[in-house]
Amino acid sequence: MTSVDEFAQALRTAITNRGLGLERLREHLSQNGVSVSMATLSYWQTGRSRPERQKSLQAVVHLEHILQVPPGHLSELLGPPRPRGRWLRNAPAPMSAFWPSPSPVEQALHDLDTQWDDQLLRVSQQDFVTIGANRTERVFRSRQVLSASMTGPDRWVVIMHLDDHDRPLPQVNALKNCTVGQVVQQPSEGLLVAELLFERPLRKGESVVIEHELVNQDPCPPATNYERKFRLPTREYVLEVTFEGDAPASVVQLADGSAVAPRRTLLDVALDVQPGARGFSWTW
């Protein structure tokens, strides 16, 4: 079954389970500021066409919410994005490029196999962060949807940096479709690098969904921000930060420095993310 067929089948099933007709679905999208014709929705669910343009991909994210399916349930079935524009012309930055101190990261990566990282297309990156009632970083849970641009990729490399270097480094746990491989820790730099090994090497065009978590140990570091660094383009990014206690006093979106209304749950959804960083910083 092709990715178009899989997407169409999943969309039809979600629409049926939700009990919405196409006209009602179009109205829900319109209420969210998204314009999609009934003909387009019909083509998507029958497999005659698939979402390709940015506005269409944004509509899929809204559809997942309206149809009450998990984030990425539909968009991950669309396959890898088609690279275009300046991403085709520019070589990827080194894995250490977006970190405050590149040298320790380069040293930590020295003995790990990172040869396949450039061959993994980032279809979806979803981060779920839990901030404890005592305003400390407790758990980071991540879900990646990756697609191989060539045969061979067999691992994903995680890089974690703590701002507070006198705290213990987190525990890495594999949750879905992977196991923890080699782990390199540099406590003096607040740095942890770990391999997540797939169940088997991927074939060209094959996709995988993996999940892992980073669990901080007591005393957990104080929570003032969460930042995801993107070395390569990523089709979809979802970030959810949950505060178990009070909401912060002020919040800033790191991508553009804009103020965000403080809430006990912060949400960032972005499509066609360019290399750089996204996330939030906050004050109490």
Instruction: Summarize pLDDT for 21-49 with one digit per residue, the tens.
Output: 888 888 888 887 778 888 888 888 888 77
pLDDT at 237: 96
Which is higher by pLDDT, 100 or 152? 152
Lowest mean pLDDT among 12-21, 26-35, 209-218: 26-35
As a whole number, mean pLDDT of residues 270-279 equals: 91
Most confident by average pLDDT, 23-32, 45-54, 84-93, 237-246: 237-246
Ordered structural domains, the chain, with CATH? 3-78 (1.10.260), 90-274 (2.60.40)
Q: Which long-range contacts link 2-9 to residues 24+ away (Cβ below 8 Å)?
A: 3/50, 3/77, 3/78, 3/79, 4/47, 4/50, 5/47, 6/77, 7/44, 7/47, 7/50, 7/74, 7/77, 7/78, 8/44, 8/45, 8/46, 8/47, 8/50, 9/47
Nearest to 116 by CA among 157, 177, 175: 157
Percentage of the chain beyond pLDDT 70 is 91
- Please tell me the predicted confidence (pLDDT) of residue 111: 76
Which structure tokens are listed for 104? 């320790």
- For the ranges 2-11, 59-68, 218-227, the one whose mean pLDDT is highest: 218-227
Both structure tokens of 277: 């960083």
Residue 178, phi then psi, degrees to nearest 5: -160, 165
pLDDT of residue 196: 95
How many CB atoms lie under 10 A from the CB of residue 139?
A: 18
| Poorest-pLDDT segment among 53-62, 128-137, 158-167, 249-258 | 53-62
For 113-156, what is each residue's pLDDT tens digit? 888 888 899 999 999 999 999 999 999 999 999 999 888 999 99
pLDDT of residue 270: 94
- 3: pLDDT strictly greater than 60: no
Q: How confident is the model at residue 215 (pLDDT cuts 50, 70, 90)?
A: very high
The vertex-149 CA angle with 144 and 151, nearest 5°, equals 105
What confidence tier does 61 reach under pLDDT thresholds 50, 70, 90?
A: confident
pLDDT number for residue 41: 87
Mean pLDDT across 54-80: 80
Q: Residue 208's pLDDT is what?
A: 95
pLDDT value, residue 136: 93
Least confident span in 31-35, 53-57, 143-147, 238-242: 53-57
- pTM over 0.85? The answer is no
Instruction: Please check the confidence at residue 260 and state whether its pLDDT lies above 80.
Output: yes
